[in-house]
Structure 1
Amino acid sequence: MNAGLMLQQISTGYARRPVLHDLSLERIAPGTLVALAGPNAVGKSTLLKAIAGLHPVQGRVLLDGIDLARLPPRERLRRVGYLPQALPQASSLVAYEAMLSSLHASRPGLGRSQAEAAIEHTFATLGLKALALRPLNQLSGGQRQMIGLAQVLVRAPRLLLLDEPTSALDLRWQLLVLQAVHALVAQGQTLALMAVHDLNLALRFCQQVVVLGPGRPHARMLAAGRPAGVLTPELLRAAYGVQARVERCSRGHPLVLADSALAIPDEDPR
């Protein structure tokens, strides 16, 4: 009955700048891919770090009814996979070794044959077999971002927290990433919260969207629900300060089309 993720009265921020205050989110069921959307500086990355246990937070983050703050670090690492915006370090490790290290850190009792099978499956799913024996310091930024995602996916965590996982990728790799995450989540054992700027990717791949918007003295949640119902011209105006339309392409997919930027007040909206 308690399966999934719930946020209860979450407040987080920095010493002299509150970012989010008293934010609550109803239960997100396993098998759900959620887009975390909103303009810059409204706390998307900060919220993901807080859920991952990497940033101070007040309130409760419940996963399957368990307060994550009460779990030992290794158990939390096993259940929660976090991909930051920062690329994996450009070390001399080959991609396969980086994957193996990530897997052993979260699942130390996993046998060698099981670990190898999990790594090979993840590489195949993401189309990364050709990079398996390449040192990380010889990979492009986009390739390192893909390896970082692979390090998270190979662990098969209950909760995925992805901070702009397609930011350094071209169109083909963006689609491969979203297809892979969508397929994993669709199996019903995983749920994912993904910070995105591309709203059309959210419309196409995500079952739910949470939109954060500017406010004083802290950002606020403007809306949450199914993307097609949440991403309206009125919401886009309030969140992003743009005049926009939501139309359908020739295949019936909804698309956000931004026509113009609107004037905003001079003061800092944060």
Structure 2
Amino acid sequence: MSTTGFALEQLTAGYPSRPVLQGVTLPGVPAGTLVAVVGPNAVGKSTLLKAVAGLRPAQGRVWLEGTDLATLAPRERLYRVGYLPQALPQSTSLMAYETWQSALRASRNEWSTAQREAAIESVVATLGLQALALRRLDELSGGQRQMVGLAQVIVRAPRLLLLDEPTSALDLRWQLQVLQAVRALVRQQGAIGLVAVHDLNLALRFCQHVLVLGGGNVLAAGDPAEVLTPALLQRAYGVRARVERCSEGYLLVLADAALPQ
């Protein structure tokens, strides 16, 4: 098993009486890679991320830099893995800055005060959150709270980022800014990022690897430009679609029609 990347080996997860995922295997993904986890509704994207994060019972192995995550103590797993759920951060009277400090106290208590301050300053600058830092969460919009939650995860500098629909509450500008920033951070830190997304065009533009789920398992995995073909889109989503290049050279998925079931 590679000591520098991420892999799944026969992962099964779901509910006690109904597995959602059965025997999911993903060969080694190298460090510095952003992986899009895609597929139609209810195929297990969120279940996969929760299982990898250790928040849902699972069988099989999740390898990160040569270590089976199931063998780690909860605190060590928290140190290495950062998870952003679909649910927005709770609307509270805390300022955004206080939530970032709390995240670091919980997972990076070995850092000095200066190190924590520097980490927060860096993430705030990277995500463009200067205007939100001293505002209370109950004064923020849903999209702004989603950005605060993302910063809570990133500021800890985990080796594995698990982001469940991190752009769902964001407008177009912030969608681009967030995924561009996440991709850059993953590359710079030599980390791994798994991002569950519905927008296939965001996956094509920002992710170096794609994992397509369907029927409780992996339909396809690899380079998005090679995996997201018209045939795969028909099989996974039940649509007739084309994959074309725009004037800027980016690949785009154009869905023409929903096919009869």
For residue 68 of structure 2, what is the aligned residue in structure 1? 67
For residue 188 of structure 2, what is the aligned residue in structure 1? 187
> Structure 2: how far apart are the matches of 1:253 and 1:179?
14
For residue 88 of structure 2, what is the aligned residue in structure 1? 87
**Does the residue aligned with 1:88 lie in a helix, a strand or coil?**
coil
Structure 1 unmatched ranges of 5 or more: 265-270
Structure 2 unmatched ranges of 5 or more: none
> Structure 2: how far apart are the matches of 1:163 and 1:182?
15
**Does the residue aligned with 2:32 lie in a helix, a strand or coil?**
coil
**Does the residue aligned with 1:21 lie in a helix, a strand or coil?**
strand
Residue identity (%): 69
What are the residue-to-residue correspondences of 1:53-202 with 2, within 5 Å? 53-202=54-203
Shift of 1:151: 0.3
**CA offsets 1:199-223 (integer angstroms, 9 cap, x no match):** 000000100000011x3xxx22100
Please, which of 253, 258, 270 is the counterpart of residue 255 of structure 2? 258
Shift of 1:188: 4.6
> Structure 1: how far apart are the matches of 2:116 and 2:164?
25
**CA offsets 1:32-63 (integer angstroms, 9 cap, x no match):** 00000000000000000000000000001111
TM-score of the superposition, structure 1-length normalised?
0.95
Code of the residue aligned with 2:211 in structure 1: it is V
**Does the residue aligned with 1:251 lie in a helix, a strand or coil?**
coil
**CA offsets 1:160-194 (integer angstroms, 9 cap, x no match):** 00001000000010011001101101215211010
Code of the residue aligned with 2:222 in structure 1: it is G
TM-score of the superposition, structure 2-length normalised?
0.98
For residue 17 of structure 2, what is the aligned residue in structure 1? 16
Code of the residue aligned with 2:49 in structure 1: it is L
What are the residue-to-residue correspondences of 1:239-254 with 2, within 5 Å? 239-254=236-251
What are the residue-to-residue correspondences of 1:216-227 with 2, within 5 Å? 219-227=216-224
For residue 40 of structure 1, what is the aligned residue in structure 2? 41
> Structure 1: how far apart are the matches of 2:18 and 2:233?
25
Code of the residue aligned with 2:234 in structure 1: it is R
> Structure 1: how far apart are the matches of 2:16 and 2:219?
24
> Structure 1: how far apart are the matches of 2:3 and 2:155?
25
For residue 234 of structure 2, what is the aligned residue in structure 1? 237
Code of the residue aligned with 1:190 in structure 2: it is A
1:228 partnered with 2:202: no
Q: Which runs of 4+ in 1 moved over 6 A?
A: none
Shift of 1:2: 2.1
**CA offsets 1:106-165 (integer angstroms, 9 cap, x no match):** 111111111011101101110101100101111000000000000000001000000010
**CA offsets 1:78-120 (integer angstroms, 9 cap, x no match):** 1000000000111111000000000111111111111011101
**Does the residue aligned with 2:102 lie in a helix, a strand or coil?**
helix
Code of the residue aligned with 1:24 in structure 2: it is T
Shift of 1:29: 1.0
> Structure 2: how far apart are the matches of 1:100 and 1:119?
8
